[in-house]
Every structure is written in structure tokens, then in C-alpha cells.
Chains A and B, each alone.
Chain A
């Protein structure tokens, strides 16, 4: 499976561009690492938290409606406080998942454009560390918001965890602006684009990932446009209408109507969630496939295995969103297959990351004078 490819590893340009602790290497390994952690976190969240949390939210809403029907104002407020807590728990975990992955993508992007950043290697490396630090701080801060709350906070509505999360965002923003300045300097001196093996790779795996990724993104955008045209406003209208019916039914103490509205509301939230998740995931996976296409020269696996892992990644990237969409119709079966699709993406990504680690080990061995 993992045949060494000395021709790739020994190329002098790559050895320089991917040298020990270089900005590009740091951003590449940290970027794929963040995407992997973000995806595994997302899977754990989906299996162990998401559905249970949705049940808690539904239960709290049902209890609030029941309390309203009984005329118990204090109990209504208490149930909504609980609902707020469940929603915050869910929201901050989604934020952790989304930001880890997005920052991983950003790190990979910045790794790709390193040859165009007109700073010294030390300067680029400092910016890379700044980005990685901020990119870890924000999701960790977001994750802790629910648990830390407003304890010892100097502000009325923002807790320490949120402050640190915002600081993380600021660090990422600063590092990105720094790289932008470096690229601006490159363009200002009208320097030619330096040759870069990563951009010129035409291997089968790279071509599959690039074309497959772009197709996934196109499908995702078309689906998003369809969703915006056919479902978005209908969903928003239904959200308000059902809650209004629920409140009226509670005021009228109409138990049958309360149950009907609660059932409709759960159905609506499910429909919304699967459509948005399918749209977001197919585009995210498409972008990931395109990014990974450029890093194939650094994946030290045999060509056939690179193509196989590219295929596995693309299959999983299509399987997950399609099965998520089918969850409303086929329930847990579709959900299970969607999770398997997510697992395929994670395994393929892990395989490529290991391939890149093998490559970096090879470069380190050369740099330290060992025989390749």
C-alpha cells in the first residue's frame, strides 16, 4: 500500500518548500489535523449529542406549552430557560465543529500560497503559528461557552470563554491580513509566479479530486439555490405559524391542537436541519477534495493507493449529504449510511495525512544527513 516514492521525496524544490518546521509544513499538517479533529468531533456530536439535544429542546417546548395551557407563567419562563440552555449547548458545539474545519481549510489554503508571500521564512512561520494558535483558541473557547457561562466575567452578556473565542478569531484575522500583505508585496514588485510542484501536479488522484470536488460544489450550490427558492421562505413562515398555533392552543387549553403543533414543529425542524446539513456538507467536502488535490505530491503512497483514497473520499463526500437528505424519509437507515459516508471521508483523510507525515519524515531524514 505505502510504497516509498523516492523521486518525489528527493526533489530539491520540495525539500526546500517543505523543510523541517517550515511555514508550509506547519500549515499543512495543522490544517489537515484540524479538519480531522473537527470531523471526528462532528461525528461524536452527531451520534451522542445532536439527537438527544433535539429531544430535550422538543421536550422543553412541550413542557412550556403545557405550562402555558395550565396558566403557570413561572413554569413557562423556567422551561424556556432550559430550552435556551439546550440551544446554547447545541449552537456552541456546532460552532466548534464548523470553525475547526473552516480554519483547517484556511490553513491548507495559506500553505498553498506560501511561495507568493513575500516575507522571510521566519516571518511566514510566525504568522503560521499565530494562525494555528488562534484557530485552536476559537473552537476551544466556543466549546467552553456553555460550561463557563458568565462566571467572573466583567461583561453583562459575554463570558470569558466567549472573550477568548473572539480573541482567537482576531488572531486568525490578523495572521490572514499579514499573509495578504505578503502577497500584496509579491504583486507590487511584479514578480513572476514561482514554480511550485504542488500546483503543477497532474497525477490521476489530483485530477480526480479536483474535478470531483468542483462537481460536488456545483451540485451543492444548485441544491442551495433550489432550497432558497422552494423551501427557505416556506420554512420561515411555517416556523412562525406553528409556534403561533401552539401558543393559541395553549391559551385555549386545546390539548389535541398542542400535540398536533408540537408534532408539526418537530417535523419542520427536522426537514430544515437535513436540507441545510446536506447543502453545507456537500460543499465543504467538495472544497476539501479540491484542496487535497494540490497536496497529492506530498502524499507518500503508491499512485494506485492515492487514487483509491481519492475515490473513497469522493464516495463518502457524496454518500453523506445524499443520505442526510433521505433521513426524513428513511429514518435511521439513511442516517446510519450517512454516518458511514462521514467515516469514509475521515479514513481517507487520515490515510492522506499519514502519507504526508511519511513524506515529512523522509525529508527530515535527508535534512539530518541520513541515507534516504
Chain B
């Protein structure tokens, strides 16, 4: 499979994954998550009004957890689709890069793997607070940035040629 085919098929697959995730999230999770955020915050201040400091603290901890999960779930949806679109655009314009096919293959794989791993690591943070999800997200974003930097250099080489 050529680098272009890889990026096109990989990008569209990632876009479908991101959209399916977003659709599932919007139908089954988002409203409940927003309700939980609002309810726990309100309960925290109602407990404070009742001078119940333990209740207030517990409710705010619930708010913190619900918001932590909500922010990451929205980020995953946005980043998967955004990265998918970027991959497809780069796939279409890959012949503008002044580098050999072997390098193009490496850049394409790095971008595709990074774009899958980075949001996956963020999503995994909602299941585990350990170091592994964070390491996966950092590895993914590092791969994306490295691949993009390589592509910028390839584009500059082509323009100077």
C-alpha cells in the first residue's frame, strides 16, 4: 500500500471512528454527563448553605471527577475527527512532498499511529489515572508533531527544488 493510500484509507477510517464515537457519546452519555456536572456543583453549594462542609466537599469531588471525564470525552471526539481530516488532506497532497517514497511511508505511518494513539490515550485517562494512558497520549502527540515537522521539511525541499 502506498503512503497516499495509507493516509486516505486510514484518515477516512479514523473520521468514521471519531464520528461514530461522537454520535454514541451525544446520544447516550453527554446529557447525563452535563446533568451530573450541574447537579454535583449545585449540591456542593446547597450543602455549603446548610453548613454541611463534608457534604459540600464530597459533591465538589464528584463535580471534579465528572468534569475531568467530560472534558476528555469531548477532546477525544474533536481530536480524532480533526486529525482524520488533516490526514486525508495530507494524503491528497502527498506528492507535493520532496522526499523519497520510503520516507513518505514512515511519515504516513507515524502520523496515522500518532493520530490514533493520542486521543486513545486521552480516552484511557477516563478509565485509569495511572501513568500508562498519559504516556500513550504523549507518545501519540509526539509522533504527530514529528511527522508534521518532517512533512513541513519535505514541502520546503520540494519548493526549493
Contact = CB atoms under 8 A, between A and B. Distances in A.
B110 interface: no
22 contacts: A76-B42, A102-B81, A106-B15, A157-B32, A157-B35, A162-B31, A169-B19, A176-B12, A176-B16, A187-B5, A199-B95, A207-B159, A210-B93, A210-B96, A218-B145, A218-B149, A225-B145, A236-B71, A240-B63, A248-B56, A287-B82, A294-B93
A244 B41 CA distance: 10
Contacts of A170: 23
A243 B60 contact: yes
A222 interface: yes
Contacts of A30: none
Contacts of B19: 169, 172-173, 176
Q: Is the interface of A mostly helix, strand, loop or mixed?
A: helix
A183 interface: yes
Interface string B77-120: 01001100110111011011000000000000000000000000
A116 to B, nearest CB: 7
Given A166-B23, A173-B20, A65 B45 contact: yes
Contact of B68 (A70, A72, A215, A236): A236
Contacts of A162: 26, 31
A177 B23 CA distance: 14
Contacts of A183: 8-9, 12
Interface string A288-327: 0011011000000000000000000000000000000000
B132 interface: no
B46 A73 contact: yes
Interface in A70-98: 70-73, 76-77, 80-81, 83-84, 87-88, 91, 98
Interface in A49-81: 64-65, 67-73, 76-77, 80-81
4 shortest A-B CB distances, which residue pairs? A80-B42, A68-B49, A247-B48, A240-B64
Contact of B38 (A84, A193, A211, A240): A84
B124 interface: no
Contacts of A67: 45, 49
**Chain A: interface size category:** 35 or more
A217 interface: yes
Contacts of A112: 89, 92
A225 B152 contact: no
Contacts of B144: 221
A239 B89 contact: no
Contacts of B47: 247
Contacts of B3: none
A221 B141 contact: yes
B92 A113 contact: yes
Interface of A: 64-65, 67-73, 76-77, 80-81, 83-84, 87-88, 91, 98, 102, 105-106, 109, 112-113, 116, 157-158, 162, 165-166, 169-170, 172-173, 176-177, 179-180, 183-184, 187, 193, 199, 207, 210-211, 214-215, 217-218, 221-222, 224-225, 228, 236, 239-240, 243-244, 247-248, 250-251, 283-284, 287, 290-291, 293-294
Interface in B1-28: 4-5, 8-9, 12-13, 15-16, 19-20, 22-23, 26-27
A300 B23 CA distance: 39
B16 A180 contact: yes
B18 to A, nearest CB: 10
B49 A287 contact: no
Contacts of A113: 8, 88, 92
B44 to A, nearest CB: 5
Nearest to B88: A109
A287 B85 contact: yes
Given A177-B16, A218-B152, A243-B44, A248 B53 contact: yes
A187 B156 CA distance: 30
Given A179-B12, A218-B152, A199 B41 contact: no
Given A76-B42, A211-B159, A214-B152, A68 B35 contact: no
